[in-house]
Amino acid sequence: MGLVTQPGPPARCPVGPTGDPGWLLTRHADVVAAASDPVTFSSAVSRHLQVPNGLDGEEHARFRPLVDSFFAADRMAALEPLLRPVAAAAVAALPVGVPVDAVEDLGRPYAVRATCTWLGWPDALEPTLLAWMAENHAATASGDPGRTAAVAARFDEIIRSLTEPRRAAGDDAPDDVTSELVRARVEGRALTDEEVVSVLRNWTAGDISSVALCAGVVVRHLAARPEVQRHLRTHRDDAAALDRAVDELLRIEDPFLFNRRVATRDTTIGGARIAAGERVLLAWPSANRDPDRFGDPDAFRPDENAPHNLVYGTGPHVCPGRPLAALELRVVLEELLDATARVEQAPTPDDLECVVLHP
């Protein structure tokens, strides 16, 4: 369960990479207030360039339209037929009648392949990306800054091995999203190599894992809640209804834990006095389960809860990749529904992350 903590008043807690103290915001109202006030709560929390997520104000606004343009509706519609065989193959590779791990066996391989398909990256890179994800997970869990930095540097190397040949090839570069980004211009100038790498790092390093975890949540809830499975099967051909249902399952169990901010001035939020320079964490999973906003946090109410759902954030940094993430999740869900008559929870308590598929 990706729950950080129960919603409550802002609390002091260790929030920095070295355990420095800061504030944890867990109530829906507080998280929305902070995310919607980028002047007081800056996103410039890292010493590394982060385009667009670490930028504020005009600088953020300069890059954001370019980033948004990559997720436009017509682009997503063109991508859907390419994603479908990827999803179908990921589902077909699963054994039936025995426990399968929803994240390890389905979410992760599918998310990597879907991202490579979208960006125009070769299939041969998939094992490298999967190995990198495992190492990144281990490095983060170790809390060793040296190991984390080495893993980050390794990822930049992988990305540069894709962008540099495209930059060198100019007009002869392959016709794909990565080449388009390499050629993209912001306010009349080309992006620097560092900016291109930063954008691609953001689109891949964190988001492959997010999509993998989200796919796991959807599949496990489908197995654990017969009423949800009925709802999804009944609405199999209603894309909008499936999108809303997926969003609601991700609200109930939001695997995207938090984003960071730093206070630019003394301020008060939820009754807590936060000093300029203090760190703040926006705890999306707790906010998404705040009973003051949603009543019973486990109740499955896709239509009613949609306007307040924070899975993709809110405010100027709201997730630009939402159309892609939602498309990837819906397509793999549709393929799973089509390939099975029912999906059940694995029978043993050791297999909490596992489901059993019945054709």
Q: Which residues bind ligand HEM (CB under 6 A)?
A: 35, 43, 52-53, 64, 67, 202-203, 207, 210-211, 214, 256, 259, 284, 311-313, 317, 319-321, 324-325
Nearer to ligand HEM, 26 or 53 (CB): 53
Q: In terms of residues, how long is the chain?
A: 359
Instruction: Give the CA distances from residue 232 to residues 57, 110, 182, 311, in Å, rounded to whole numbers and listed in that order.
Output: 40, 20, 39, 19
Nearer to ligand HEM, 64 or 342 (CB): 64
State how far the Cα of 215 lies from the Cα of 94, in Å rounded to an integer: 14
DSSP 151-173: HHHHHHHHHHHHHHHHHHHGGGS
Structure tokens of 313? Answer: 């954030």
- Strand 267-269 versus strand 99-101 pairing type: unpaired
State how far the Cα of 223 lies from the Cα of 105, in Å rounded to an integer: 15
Q: Give Cα 343 to chain centroid, integer Å.
A: 24
Nearer to ligand HEM, 37 or 344 (CB): 37
Least Cα distance to 253 among 203, 204, 300, 317 occurs for 300
- Tell me how far, at minimum, the Cβ of 114 lies from ligand HEM, in Å: 9
Nearer to ligand HEM, 210 or 229 (CB): 210
- Tell me how far, at minimum, the Cβ of 347 lies from ligand HEM, in Å: 29
- Tell me how far, at minimum, the Cβ of 182 lies from ligand HEM, in Å: 16
166, 174 Cβ separation under 8 angstroms: yes
- Tell me how far, at minimum, the Cβ of 98 lies from ligand HEM, in Å: 27
- Tell me how far, at minimum, the Cβ of 285 lies from ligand HEM, in Å: 10
Nearer to ligand HEM, 284 or 294 (CB): 284
Structure tokens of 90? Answer: 């990921």
Nearer to ligand HEM, 139 or 283 (CB): 283
- Tell me how far, at minimum, the Cβ of 310 lies from ligand HEM, in Å: 7
**Among all residues, whose Cβ is closest to ligand HEM?**
321
